[in-house]
Amino acid sequence: MASPAAELRAGEREGLRASLAGDVNAPRPREIIRLLAPFPGRASIVTRIALICALTALVNSAYGTPEAATSAYIVFFLNRPDRVTSVVMSCALFLLVTVIIGIVMVFAIFSIDVPALRVGYMALLSFGLLFVTSASKLRPVGAIVAMIVGFGLDELGLAPVGEAATRGLLYAWLFVSIPIGLAIVMNLLIGPSPRRLACATLARRLKLAAACLTDNADAAGRAAFEASLREGDHQIMTWLKLATLEGSLKPADAAALRQATASTTAILIATDLAASEPAAQLPPASAAPFVDTFMQMAAMLEAGGYPVDITVPAADEKALTPLAAIVLADLRAALAHFAIAPEAPAPAPSPAQEKPARKGFFDADAFTNPDHVRYALKTTAAAMFCYLLYQQLDWQGIHTCFITCYMVSLGTTAETVEKLTLRIAGCLIGAALGTAAIVFVTPMLTTAWQLMALVFAGAWLAGWVAMGSPRIAYAGMQIAFAFFLCVIQGAAPAFDLTLARDRAIGILIGNVVIYLVFTRVWPVSIAGSIDAALAKLVAQWTRIAHATDVATRRTLTATALADYGGLRQNLGLIHYEPSWVRPAPAWIASRRRALTALGALEAPLFLAAGKAGAAGEARLKEIALQLAPEGEATRPAPATSRTDSASAPDIEALLKLIAQRYDRIAASATPAPHEETPPDARP
């Protein structure tokens, strides 16, 4: 059985203390190296993005299209791992840009000769679009739309006559259409299908489970296993749906792969319990057949198929501990119905399992929550300040300060500060690389093909960062933007260092303005969203505890695992908030403790769900309620022997493990005693 809290190993206790202390701050150098490590599919999408960027630079160079750097940068917004999503996003952006240019032309008719009216339209449209961005489903692209509309109206003011303004808008449509057209063609030619990516992800899950089941995974392998566990099933299910729409996957095969996705979730959870709990670890003789089976199944999935008639490995359950027997039984159940769901009547949904009602375009609190209006006002005020600043200084080179305000502003202070930090870091790195290229590489370039090679190299390096973890991805986008602004200065290689300097200064000014506005004017802490997400996660595990249907339980658990990863990341953003915005240390400690407890109890809660009888379900519900934020001040009562006398031995072992893990976390959260300072001590 698991060690009691009093006998907790020193290393395990320190790990729990680090988790409770919130050791998820800004990436340190060693962690950055880990985040830059390769993973399956990363090199593929990065190479595709770099190739499209290089072709965009080549086409723009051949036709002398203005704003070639921005045209190449747009490629980063168009591509996703699979070809279907990439093509759909490219077509959607093409339609969106066409509509935006139409809007700009309508307002330009009334304001091109009246600067004050043009500025008023910029502010009004900015506020309206940003409000919709904050309060609706337009959130992913609304700020970019507001930035394009405002910047388009600004550029119209530079045109000497109306005909030049119209030609400028048509050129804007052209330099956006070029990367969109190239992205569609290249994704159709070399982009991977959604089915291939879904099968590859399922195969990777099985390989990671095989490595962890025999305790052969190193630190990197264990981290990859944890990341795979926290991904959830949403991306795989989306790929399967897209593959069905594309026609590369038949409905029967799609149903089988959906079942396989749920089965791999169960395999990962059982493997996680075996890898994290010594008493649940399978002996080598019992684990070896499962490892061989997992590897054979992974090979089938990588080949584009999926296993059906799987021979479930046999093992002597009597020789195993109760927890190991549970792991063995769950692995065998997952393999027995890996791609074919067992035939069983669908249970009637309980109120806790009913699907939520469909949401409309606007959020439920769109017109009642003042934060939406405040967000729009703050971002618009910051952007207009930057606009007036570079207009009064007559310094068009720093117009990136205006763009920066829209790119880094988010709903909460923590998210905004994190994004502007990544933007500053990416801008400095990209400007340094671009300046070095201008000084040492560009003088040797003589043809557009050589410029294309330089763009490919810079886009590949930036794309490697941008296609990685969300903790560093935005820095990669800014590396690309700054690098392109330096090396793509027209139809031929150029050597103007002033351009790189001005763009970097503009980005820094925009970041400073946004920081001051979002930390001083109506600051919004991320604490509110953390509490809401934590309450939702606790409610989700309560539903899992009462779910008797295997398919429902696996689906709910996959969502809960992904929500846990997002909540942990948001809790790590707290340190980005200044002291007058950040919640009290006691609040942070209580949320970290609740999140750590949920993470430790996930596997036993999943395995005991629907099996523990009335007493077991009551115990699970009690624990879930104690984890809720409302009960944070009350420490849960110690685990007792209050279990159902009719409970099976394996369920009783799970309930004891739940109590032991919870007590272990509570003991680690208790501050260590310290000696009092003598009265006559001096600093």
**Do residues 243 and 193 make contact, with C-beta atoms less than 8 angstroms apart?**
yes
- Tell me the mean pLDDT in the region 123-143: 84
- Tell me the mean pLDDT in the region 466-486: 89
So what's the pLDDT on residue 144? 75
Give the model's confidence band at 27: pLDDT under 50 very low, under 70 low, under 90 confident, else very high: low
**CA atoms of 483 and 307, how far apart (whole Å):** 47
- Tell me the mean pLDDT in the region 442-454: 86
The residue type at 676: E
Ramachandran angles phi, psi of 415, nearest 5°: -65, -40
Task: Between 2 and 586, name the one with better pLDDT.
Answer: 586
- Tell me the mean pLDDT in the region 609-613: 59
Residue 66 has pLDDT above 50, yes or no: yes
**CA atoms of 350 and 354, how far apart (whole Å):** 6
Task: Between 100 and 57, name the one with better pLDDT.
Answer: 57
With a pLDDT cut of 90, the percent of the chain lying above it is: 25
So what's the pLDDT on residue 636? 44
In angstroms, the first-to-last Cα distance of the chain is 48
Give the model's confidence band at 608: pLDDT under 50 very low, under 70 low, under 90 confident, else very high: confident
Residue 673 has pLDDT above 70, yes or no: no
Mean of the per-residue pLDDT values for the chain? 80
Q: What is the CA radius of gyration of the chain?
A: 28
Query: Which among 209-223, 400-414, 641-655 has the top mean pLDDT?
Result: 400-414
**CA atoms of 190 and 82, how far apart (whole Å):** 10
Residue 316 has pLDDT above 50, yes or no: yes
So what's the pLDDT on residue 13? 43
Query: Which among 46-50, 549-553, 615-619 has the top mean pLDDT?
Result: 46-50
So what's the pLDDT on residue 492? 62
- At residue 410's C-alpha, the angle toward residues 409 and 413, to 5°, is 95
With a pLDDT cut of 70, the percent of the chain lying above it is: 81
Task: Between 628 and 264, name the one with better pLDDT.
Answer: 264
Q: How many CB atoms lie under 10 A from the CB of residue 278?
A: 13
Residue 676 has pLDDT above 60, yes or no: no
Residue 19 has pLDDT above 80, yes or no: no
Per-residue model confidence as pLDDT tens digits over 354-375: 455 556 778 888 888 888 999 9
| 593: three-class secondary structure by DSSP | helix
Query: Which among 97-101, 290-294, 572-576 has the top mean pLDDT?
Result: 290-294
Give the model's confidence band at 181: pLDDT under 50 very low, under 70 low, under 90 confident, else very high: very high
In 277-345, at which residue ranges do the beta strands (DSSP E only) sit?
none
For the CA atoms of 291, 296, 302, 307, the dihedral, rounded to the nearest 10 degrees, stands at -110
Write the Ramachandran bin of 28: left for phi over 0, alpha for psi from -120 to 50, otherwise beta.
Answer: beta
Give the residue ranges of DSSP H helices in 112-161. 115-135, 139-156
**Do residues 31 and 191 make contact, with C-beta atoms less than 8 angstroms apart?**
no
DSSP codes joined into one string, 510-565: HHHHHHHHHHHSS---THHHHHHHHHHHHHHHHHHHH--SHHHHHHHHHHHHHHHH
What's the pTM? 0.83
Per-residue model confidence as pLDDT tens digits over 504-543: 898 889 989 999 999 999 998 898 888 888 888 888 888 8
CA-based nearest residue to 618, from 534, 626, 558: 626
So what's the pLDDT on residue 63? 83
Residue 7 has pLDDT above 80, yes or no: no
So what's the pLDDT on residue 454? 93
Task: Between 497 and 239, name the one with better pLDDT.
Answer: 239
So what's the pLDDT on residue 593? 81
Q: Please, which residues have CB within 8 angstroms of residue 560's CB and are 6 or more apart in sequence? A: 537, 540, 541, 544, 602
Cα→Cα distances 482→64, 117, 213, 430, 455, Å: 21, 32, 45, 5, 12
The residue type at 427: C
- At residue 227's C-alpha, the angle toward residues 225 and 229, to 5°, is 70
Residue 635 has pLDDT above 50, yes or no: no
- At residue 665's C-alpha, the angle toward residues 206 and 287, to 5°, is 25
So what's the pLDDT on residue 350? 46
Q: Which helix (H) or strand (E) holds 437?
A: none
So what's the pLDDT on residue 308? 86
**Do residues 272 and 603 make contact, with C-beta atoms less than 8 angstroms apart?**
yes
Query: Which among 14-23, 504-513, 593-602 has the top mean pLDDT?
Result: 504-513
**CA atoms of 335 and 339, how far apart (whole Å):** 8
**CA atoms of 179 and 86, how far apart (whole Å):** 12
So what's the pLDDT on residue 672? 45
